[in-house]
Amino acid sequence: MEWSIVIDGFFTALEPMNVVWLIFGALLGTIVGILPGLGPATGVAVLIPLTFGMNPVSALILMSAIYYGALFGGSRSSILINTPGDGSSIAATFDGYPMTLKGQAGQAMSIAAMASLFGGIMAIFGFIFLAIPLAQFALNFGPAEYFMLFLFTLSAVVALSTGKMIKGFVAMFVGLAISTVGIDLQSGVHRFTFGVPHFTDGINFIVIIIGIYALGEVLYNMFPKKTDQQPKNQTIGSKWFTKEQWKRSLGPIFRSGPLGFFLGVLPGSGGTISSLLAYSTEKQLSKRKDEFGKGAVEGLVAPESANSSAAVGSLIPMLTMGIPGSGTTAVMLGALVMIGITPGPLLFENSPDLVWTLINSMFIGNLILVIINILMVGLLIKVLRTPANVLYPIVLVLSFIGAYTLGYSTIDFYLLIAAGLLGLLMRVLDYPVAPLILALIIGGEMEQNIRRASIIYESPQAIFFASPIATTLFGLTLLSLCYPLFVKLFKRKTRKGTGASM
Amino acid sequence: MHAVRLSMPLFFIVLSVAYGILILQLPQATLGDAMAPLYFPAAICVGLLLFSIIDLVQVMKKKEKAAPEDLLLLVRRSTLTTIGVIVVLCIIYTLLFEYAGFLLSTVTFLAALLFYLNGKTKWRVNILVTGIVSLSTWYIFSQLLEISLPAFGG
C-alpha cells in the first residue's frame, strides 16, 4: 500500500470545503438520527438530492457523515427518551436510559460518544488493512462469481430475518420483480413498461427506497401511540464521565470494536446484530452481570463501539465489490451510482484519492461528532422536542423533492406513494424490508451476470461449479439458508441440556 | 383482523399471477436466445408465488394468536382516516405539482397537511412552517444547488 496516497487523502479531507461538508453532514446526521423514527437509511435517502451538483469526493464525504452522524444521533434518543433512532441503537436503551433515570444522561452521552469514536477508529484501521486485499481478491471475480456473491448476499440477508424467513423470501422476490422493469440490456426487449417512456430505464430504486423508508416511516408515525410519544424533560447532570466509568469502559470498547467491524463486513449482519451481540458478549464476560439493564456503563459502551465500527466495516463490501450489506449501505450505493461513482474492485485502482479521502474524512468526522455530541447536548435535546406533527410534513416534502430530482417526473410521485403504503403494511405485518431493498438494487446486475455466465459456461447449473470461489459462495449460500435451522436445533439442545441439569 | 393479515400474502399471490401473465405477453428477443429476457422474471414469478402460498398457509395456521399491537392500531378508524387523508393530500400534491409548479403546490400541500394535523388553533406555527419550509427548500435546491424545481407551473 502506498502511504503517500493515504496521507494525500488526509490533506484532501482537511480542505476547508470538505471540512464544512463534514461538519454539516455530521450535524445533519445527528439531528436526523436523534429524531425518533428517522434512522440513517431514511436520513441518507431523503438528503440524497443535496449531493447533486457536488463533486464526487465532497458528496461521498457528506453522505458518509450523515450516515455515521445518524448512528451517533440514534443512540442519543435511546439514552434520553428510551426510543432508538434505528435498529442499531436498540441496545443503547438497555443501560443508557436507566443511566438517564439515575440523572446521568450527560455522562451516558459523553461515554457513548467516546465508545463510538474508538469503535470507529478501530474500524478505520481495519478498513485500511482489509479493503485493498479484498478489492484485489475481487478482481478475480467473473460473471459466475458475481452472481454467486449476489445470491449469497441475498440469502444471508433473508436468513438473518430471524423468525420471518418466508416473509423475507417474499420481500426478496418482490424486490427482484421490481428490478426487472425496463428495457432488457442484452436483447432490447421492453419489459413491464406499459408503454410509459419513463420506465424504459427501469424504476429508480431510490424512489422506492425513499417511499418505503421515509414515507412509510411518516405514515407509521401517524399511529396514535407514536404521536403521543413526547420527550420528557430530562436533567442532564454532569456532561463528562468519571475516571471509574472510563476504566470500566476500556475493555468493552476494545473488545466490541473488532467484533462489530467483522460483523459489519459480512453481508446482512449490520449494526443491529453487532450491537446486540456485543451487549450479550459483554454481559456474559462481566463480573457485574446483575448491573446490566440497570445502568451499567459496560452495557452502554459495548454496543456503541460495535455499531460504530460495524458502520465502517459495512462500507468495505459496498466499496470494494458493490455489494450493499445493509439497508443504509444500499441507499448509499444507489446515491454513489447517481453521482457517477461506480463501486467495485476497480474503484481502488482508478480513484484511490476518493477512497482514501473518504477514510480520512471518517476519522476526522468521528472526532467532530464527539465534539458535537458532548458540547451541544443542550441544543440536541431541543431538537428532540420538535413536535412530530411539524416534523413529518417537512420529511414528506423533502421526500417528494428527492423523488422529483431523480427523474424530473411526477410519475415517480405515484411510485413514492405506493412504496410508502407498501412499506407501512410490510412493517405492520412484519415483513422485513432489507431483502426487498437489496434485491431491488442488485437484481439487475444479478440477471446480467447469470446470463453472461450461462453463455460462457453453456449451462446455468455449471455456474455453481465454475470456479472454487463460485463453489465456495454456493456452499456459503446453502449454509446461510440452513443457519436458522442450526440455531433452532442448538436452542433445543441447550434447552434439553439445561433441563437435564436442573 | 385476520382478514388484514391474510390480505398481504393474498396480495402477493395476485401480484405473482399478474406478473406471470405479463411475462407470457413479453415479446421474444430478436437476437440470441429468443426466450432469454423471460427466464429471470419467470424464476422470480415462481419463487414469489411459492413463498406467498407458504406465507398464506402460515398466516392461516396462526389464526388464534393475538394480533400485533401495530396492526390493532392500524385498523382503528382514526388511524385509517389520518393515513387516508395524508395519502389523498399526497395524490392532490402530485396532480397540482404538474400544473402549478413546486412553490404553489408545496405551499398548498404543507398548509393543508399542517392544518389537518395541528388544527386551526396552531395557525401561527402552521403558516410559519409552511412559508419557511417551502421558500427555503425551493431556494436551497433551485438556487444554491441549481436543481431544476419549477417555481410556478410545470
pLDDT tens-digit series, residues A168-204 = 999 999 999 999 999 988 888 899 998 888 899 889 8
CB A113 within 8 A of CB A371: no
Distance from CA of B131 to the nearest CA of A (A): 12
What pLDDT score does B128 carry? 94
Q: Nearest residue of A to residue B133 by CA position?
A: A394
According to the per-residue pLDDT averaged within each range, which of A239-248, A491-500, B51-60 is highest? B51-60
B147: chain A residues, CB-CB within 8 Å: 49, 52-53, 405
Whether A154 has a pLDDT exceeding 60, the answer reads yes
Spatial neighbors of A482 by CB under 8 A, at least 6 apart, are none
What pLDDT score does A430 carry? 86
Lowest mean pLDDT across A474-478, B82-86, B141-145: B141-145
For B45, the grid coordinates are: 414469478
**A window 450-489, beta carbon within 8 A of B:** 450-451
Could you tell me if A219 lies within 8 Å of chain B, comparing CB atoms? yes
Spatial neighbors of A459 by CB under 8 A, at least 6 apart, are none
Report the percent of chain A where pLDDT is more than 90: 16
Q: Nearest residue of B to residue A424 by CA position?
A: B74
Distance from CA of B28 to the nearest CA of A (A): 7
A186: chain B residues, CB-CB within 8 Å: 29, 31-32, 36-37
Alpha-carbon separation of residue A483 from A157, A277, A472 (angstroms): 11, 16, 16
**A with B: how many residue pairs have Cβ under 8 Å apart?**
167
Q: Phi first, then psi: give them for residue B27, nearest 5 degrees.
A: -70, 155
What pLDDT score does B153 carry? 61
Whether A290 has a pLDDT exceeding 70, the answer reads yes
Whether A18 has a pLDDT exceeding 60, the answer reads yes
B39: chain A residues, CB-CB within 8 Å: 451
Interface probe for A, chosen from B40, B85, B129 (most Cβ of A below 10 Å), is: B40
Mean pLDDT of chain A: 83
What pLDDT score does A182 carry? 92
What pLDDT score does B109 carry? 95
Spatial neighbors of A285 by CB under 8 A, at least 6 apart, are A255
Distance from CA of B47 to the nearest CA of A (A): 7
What pLDDT score does A146 carry? 87
Nearest-5° Cα angle at A86, A120 to A255: 35
Confidence grade of residue A162 (pLDDT, cut at 50, 70, 90):
low
Lowest mean pLDDT across A112-121, A277-286, A351-360, B58-67: B58-67
CB A268 within 8 A of CB A326: yes
Whether A434 has a pLDDT exceeding 70, the answer reads yes
For A488, the grid coordinates are: 433452532
> Smallest Cβ distance to B44: which of A53, A173, A223?
A173
What pLDDT score does A142 carry? 87
Q: The pTM is what?
A: 0.79
A219/B83 CB distance under 8 A: yes
A429/B71 CB distance under 8 A: yes
B86: chain A residues, CB-CB within 8 Å: 218-219, 222, 396
Q: What DSSP string runs through chain B? A: -HHHHHHHHHHHHHHHHHHHHHHHTSPPPSSSSTTHHHHHHHHHHHHHHHHHHHHHHHHHHTTTSPPPHHHHHHTSHHHHHHHHHHHHHHHHHHHHHHHHHHHHHHHHHHHHHHHHHH-GGGHHHHHHHHHHHHHHHHIIIIIIS-----SS--
What pLDDT score does A100 carry? 84
Whole-number Å distance between alpha carbons of A102 and A501: 39
B55: chain A residues, CB-CB within 8 Å: 166-167, 170
Report the pLDDT averaged over residues B9-24: 95
Could you tell me if A210 lies within 8 Å of chain B, comparing CB atoms? no
Could you tell me if A417 lies within 8 Å of chain B, comparing CB atoms? yes
What pLDDT score does A495 carry? 67
Instruction: Identify the bridge partners of residue A8 per DSSP, sorted by sequence position.
Output: none
> Smallest Cβ distance to A49: which of B78, B114, B141?
B141
Instruction: Identify the bridge partners of residue A182 per DSSP, sorted by sequence position.
Output: A191
Could you tell me if A424 lies within 8 Å of chain B, comparing CB atoms? yes
Distance from CA of A381 to the nearest CA of B (A): 20
B125: chain A residues, CB-CB within 8 Å: 390
pLDDT tens-digit series, residues A346-370 = 888 888 888 888 888 888 888 888 8
Distance from CA of B17 to the nearest CA of A (A): 12
A189/B118 CB distance under 8 A: no
- B37 secondary structure, DSSP code: H
B47/A173 CB distance under 8 A: yes
For A278, the grid coordinates are: 456485543
B145/A53 CB distance under 8 A: yes
Whether A232 has a pLDDT exceeding 70, the answer reads no
CB A289 within 8 A of CB A283: yes
What pLDDT score does B56 carry? 93
B29/A187 CB distance under 8 A: yes
Whether A492 has a pLDDT exceeding 80, the answer reads no
Report the pLDDT averaged over residues A310-325: 83
CB A38 within 8 A of CB A81: no
Distance from CA of B66 to the nearest CA of A (A): 13
Distance from CA of A223 to the nearest CA of B (A): 6
Report the pLDDT averaged over residues B5-17: 92
Alpha helices in A142-181 (DSSP H): 143-159, 165-179
Provide the residue type at B79 as one letter.
Answer: T
B82: chain A residues, CB-CB within 8 Å: 222
Provide the residue type at A343 as one letter.
Answer: P
Whole-number Å distance between alpha carbons of A31 and A470: 43
Q: Phi first, then psi: give them for residue A376, nearest 5 degrees.
A: -105, 30
Whether B90 has a pLDDT exceeding 60, the answer reads yes
Whether A460 has a pLDDT exceeding 80, the answer reads no
Report the pLDDT averaged over residues B105-119: 93
pLDDT tens-digit series, residues A267-281 = 666 677 788 888 888
Whether B49 has a pLDDT exceeding 50, the answer reads yes
Report the pLDDT averaged over residues B27-52: 91
CB A345 within 8 A of CB A452: no
What pLDDT score does A268 carry? 62
Could you tell me if A405 lies within 8 Å of chain B, comparing CB atoms? yes
What pLDDT score does A229 carry? 47
Quote the ipTM score: 0.93
A187/B118 CB distance under 8 A: no
For B112, the grid coordinates are: 393543508
**A window 144-173, beta carbon within 8 A of B:** 166-167, 169-170, 173
What pLDDT score does A502 carry? 37
pLDDT tens-digit series, residues A378-396 = 777 777 677 878 888 988 8
A53/B147 CB distance under 8 A: yes
Confidence grade of residue A88 (pLDDT, cut at 50, 70, 90):
confident
Alpha-carbon separation of residue A451 from A203, A349, A455, B41 (angstroms): 21, 27, 6, 12
pLDDT tens-digit series, residues A325-334 = 677 787 788 7
Report the pLDDT averaged over residues A298-303: 92
For B114, the grid coordinates are: 399542517
